[in-house]
């Protein structure tokens, strides 16, 4: 269904980009540059402190967004994520949707922020440069990013001890 595609696009977007709830809720169609199959796209977001940044969209995020937006003939100024009634999805509704799927997946007590955290952890696992992670997450200070990184390392250590 259309809502299933929307929800998948939402979750992929959070997981593959580490965007904040407010950033995703504020997205307009004109903010997206979806790649052709198999290459990198981009999304421009308004981050904290009115700072605009561009984040890469991998093929998974692009595919999910393309599938969701397939039938939409809307101007670039319309919101990416719409409710059943055609209005913009509120941050609250986005949180509810994400929580529903995380609960179904057996992840309890999780939220949109958990997905941001998961994204950061994956980047650390891949050995991504701290500055690149900082840029992706839109952190003003490298200090904030290094907290994420040390948390990610702790989690990795826990999971590596059997």
Give the catalytic positions in this structure: 20, 48, 113, 116, 139, 148
Exposure class string for 51-63: b at 16+ Cβ within 10 A, else e: eeeebbbebebbb
What is the CB neighbour count within 10 angstroms for residue 39?
Answer: 11
Instruction: Give first-to-last CA distance, the chain, whole Å.
Output: 41
Angstrom distance (rounded) from CA 60 to CA 148: 24
Angstrom distance (rounded) from CA 128 to CA 135: 11
Angstrom distance (rounded) from CA 60 to CA 9: 9
């Amino acid at each position: 269904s259309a809502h299933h595609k929307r929800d998948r696009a939402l979750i992929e977007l959070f997981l593959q980009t580490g965007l904040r709830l407010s950033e995703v809720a504020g997205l307009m169609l004109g903010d997206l540059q979806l790649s052709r199959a198999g290459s990198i796209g981009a999304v421009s977001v308004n981050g904290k402190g009115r700072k605009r940044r561009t984040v890469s969209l991998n093929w998974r995020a692009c595919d999910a967004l393309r599938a969701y937006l397939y039938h939409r003939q809307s101007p670039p100024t319309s919101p990416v994520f719409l409710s059943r009634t055609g209005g913009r999805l509120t941050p609250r509704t986005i949180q509810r949707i994400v929580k529903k799927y995380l609960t179904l997946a057996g992840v309890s007590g999780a939220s949109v922020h958990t997905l941001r955290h998961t994204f950061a952890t994956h980047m650390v696992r891949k050995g991504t440069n701290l500055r690149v992670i900082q840029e992706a997450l839109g952190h003003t200070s490298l200090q904030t990013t290094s907290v994420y990184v040390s948390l990610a390392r702790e989690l990795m250590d826990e999971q590596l001890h059997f």
